[in-house]
């Protein structure tokens, strides 16, 4: 999501809820949006895509698909987020996954 869209999103919220705009600046909203957007995982629950914050998985390095040694999955039946090795990972080796980053608001 580009900066202009995030600004419009902020102004839409602030117009609908004036207390929000009075309490949160556009700058802090943009900062928070980008921090959250770079840390969440999109998981499917039923037919809905939900945002999940998974601190342990977030500690993985993110790299090109060819460099990954782990992947992740969400098991809706058990409610578990799974981090799965794709190959043997040596002691001290960084865990690296591949994630496509997209805006949370872009998800319908």
Q: What is the pLDDT of residue 106?
A: 36
Overall average pLDDT of the 83-102 stretch: 81
Predicted TM-score (pTM) of this structure? 0.58
Question: What pLDDT, in 10s, does the model give residues 28-43?
Answer: 999 999 888 888 888 8
pLDDT in tens, 56-85: 888 888 766 667 888 888 888 898 999 889
The proportion of the chain whose per-residue pLDDT surpasses 70, expressed as a percent, equals: 86
- pLDDT at position 99 over 70: no
Residues 6+ apart with CB under 8 A from 37: 1, 101, 103, 104
Q: Count Cβ neighbours within 10 Å for each residue of 28-49 and write b for 16 or more, e otherwise.
A: ebeeebeeebeebbebeeeeee
């Amino acid at each position: 999501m580009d900066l202009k869209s995030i600004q419009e999103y902020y102004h839409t919220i602030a117009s609908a809820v004036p207390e929000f705009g009075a309490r949160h600046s556009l700058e802090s909203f943009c900062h928070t949006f980008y921090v959250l957007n770079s840390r969440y995982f999109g998981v499917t629950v039923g037919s809905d895509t939900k945002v999940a914050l998974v601190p342990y998985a977030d500690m993985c390095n993110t790299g090109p698909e060819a460099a990954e040694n782990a992947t992740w999955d969400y098991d809706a039946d058990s409610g578990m987020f799974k981090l799965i090795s794709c190959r043997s990972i040596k002691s001290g080796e960084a865990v690296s996954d591949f994630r496509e980053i997209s805006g949370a608001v872009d998800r319908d």
